[in-house]
Amino acid sequence: MYMNEYQFIKDQDAELYATLVGEEERERTGVELIPSENYVSKAVREANGSVFTNKYSEGYPGKRYYGGQKYTDQMETIAIERAKKLFNAGFANVQPLGGAAANVAMYFALMESGDTVLGMDLSHGGHLTHGHPTTAINKVFNFVRYKMKDVDTGEIDYEELRRVALEHKPKIILAGFSAYSRELDYAKFVEIAKEVGAYTVADVAHIAGLIAGGVVKNPFDYGFDVMTTTTHKTLRGPRGGMILVRESEDLAKRINKAVFPGMQGGPHMHSIAGKAVAFGEALHPSFKIYAAQILKNAKAMEVVFKKEGVRLLCGGTENHLLLADVFGSLGITGQEAETVLDEVGITLNKNMIADETRTAMDPSGIRFGTPAMTTRGMKEGEATKLAEIMIATMRAKDDVVKKAALKAEVVALCEAFPVPERFV
Ligand SMILES: *Cc1c(COP(=O)(O)O)cnc(C)c1O
């Protein structure tokens, strides 16, 4: 527990305080391998818990619907300018409440109802917000798909992508994923989009921090029109979303209108303050080292899984995450693996694999990644060790004695690498 933290909650609300203490303990004593999670700095949490939560600021800096905006305007402008610099963008909207909200606003900014989006197949790594049948936007827009050509190399079937694009004439070609571990050929996307007159949008929710750190490709360097993202995954900011435009002022205006008043009311100014602090951290030279280490740690885990004969989807990783077919390789289901790893203090999630033969609730795979453990300062040695612990745990799923020994190793690792408060 940090000194004097949550003092007021402790004094007035014991019931709620217990949950904070519990969560802090959980985060401190377990290894977090969910690839969409991270630990933010104390500075980000200060901003996120700040007085900016008191303020209504509908509109944009200089054009608000309420008075008293001297400091909110300054603060949001700082966030916008930092975001532009980080991603080499012409325009940034930092108000979306999350990645899903950013995507919905982007769809409405770029399309009319009934228009078509061509996106990554959800079972091949795409995200729910790319038109899953259970989502609201699926009722408004038409979603068609491309897939991987070979699930064991991760190569996208660009010929199929082009064929579907020519057939369906999408308004948007969407590149982006939450369960895919290769770089995309962004130039190819742009080439096909030009042929059919579509916008190119990259949903970089997972890899934004890697782009900002310069260790994976930036879609804007290949001519993409728009990027949507979360701010709380590899970018290591508060929960939230953001939309970036490469250069078109017209697109930027449409996106601003689609976010407010199109979709949202008052922006969460405390969250935007947290984004500004996180962007400041990401602009610091140390963030490049952090981003590079995320990749090195993921590679180190890949080496162990391959050595132990576990099938990795996409044949390995070029980013922060890995997908393993544990059912096919170790005879343990994704749900069983999630549960048994949780028992030894390792948190990750079960995941459907491409061409899944099991169910969503108990699929064949697990998905895991290195952003959070890298924030704790762990390097290749620890990543190797963790991968070995993971495989040993899955092999010893019913062996209580072995699991106790493995858990002790995880606890020791966590004690050696406390969650840091300061990154710059
Ligand atoms: C996480 C994610 C989102 C959704 O972000 P939320 O903040 O949870 O709404 C959207 N797209 C992709 C690709 C993601 O990985």
Choose the residue to mutate in 107, 129, 143 for probing ligand 1, maximizing ligand atoms within 8 Å of C-beta: 129
pLDDT tens-place string over residues 107-148: 999 999 999 999 999 888 899 999 999 999 999 999 999 999
pTM of the model: 0.97
Domains of the chain, residue spans: 47-282, 286-416
Q: Which amino acid is at 195?
A: E
Distance 400 CA to ligand 1 centre (A): 37
**How far apart, in whole angstroms, are the C-alpha atoms of residue 57 and residue 64?**
6
pLDDT tens-place string over residues 347-384: 999 999 998 999 999 999 999 999 999 999 999 999 99
Q: Is the pLDDT of residue 3 over 80?
A: no
Bridge partners, 365 (sequence order) = 325, 351
Catalytic residues: 56, 58, 203, 230, 233, 239
Counting from 1 in the atom list of ligand 1, the atom nearest the Cα of 176 is 13
pLDDT of residue 231: 98
Tell the residue number behind the tokens 């140390």, with chain if given: 286
Q: Which residues line ligand 1 (CB under 6 A)?
A: 36, 98-100, 103, 127, 129, 176-178, 203, 205-206, 230, 241
Counting from 1 in the atom list of ligand 1, the atom nearest the Cα of 130 is 11
Counting from 1 in the atom list of ligand 1, the atom nearest the Cα of 240 is 7
Answer whether CATH 3.40.50.620 is correct for domain 47-282: no
Protein residue closest via CA to atom 8 of ligand 1: 99
Do strands 226-230 and 199-203 pair parallel, antiparallel, or not at all (unpaired)? parallel
Q: What is the secondary structure of 193-243 as a DSSP string? A: HHHHT-EEEEE-TTTHHHHHTTSS--GGGGT-SEEEEESSSTT--SS-EEE
Query: What Cα–Cα distance (Å) separates residue 336 from each residue in 349, 351, 368, 395?
Result: 10, 12, 15, 11
Sorted by sequence, the CB contacts under 8 Å of residue 13 that are 6+ apart come out as none
Distance 230 CA to ligand 1 centre (A): 6
pLDDT tens-place string over residues 268-305: 999 999 999 999 999 999 999 999 999 999 999 999 99
Protein residue closest via CA to atom 10 of ligand 1: 99
The predicted model gives 148-153 an average pLDDT of 94
Distance 147 CA to ligand 1 centre (A): 19
Distance 98 CA to ligand 1 centre (A): 7
Distance 348 CA to ligand 1 centre (A): 17
pLDDT tens-place string over residues 23-61: 999 999 999 999 999 999 999 999 999 999 999 999 999
The predicted model gives 104-109 an average pLDDT of 98
Query: Which of the two residues, 196 and 125, has the higher pLDDT score?
Result: 196
Counting from 1 in the atom list of ligand 1, the atom nearest the Cα of 206 is 15
Give me the helices (H) in 208-345, please. Answer: 208-212, 249-257, 269-283, 285-307, 326-330, 334-343
Q: Which amino acid is at 126?
A: G
CB-CB contact of 277 with 41 (8 Å): yes
**How far apart, in whole angstroms, are the C-alpha atoms of residue 12 and residue 260?**
36
CATH topology of domain 286-416: Aspartate Aminotransferase, domain 1 (3.90.1150)
Chain-wide mean pLDDT for the chain?
96
Q: How many C-beta neighbours within 10 Å does residue 149 have?
A: 14
CB-CB contact of 211 with 218 (8 Å): yes
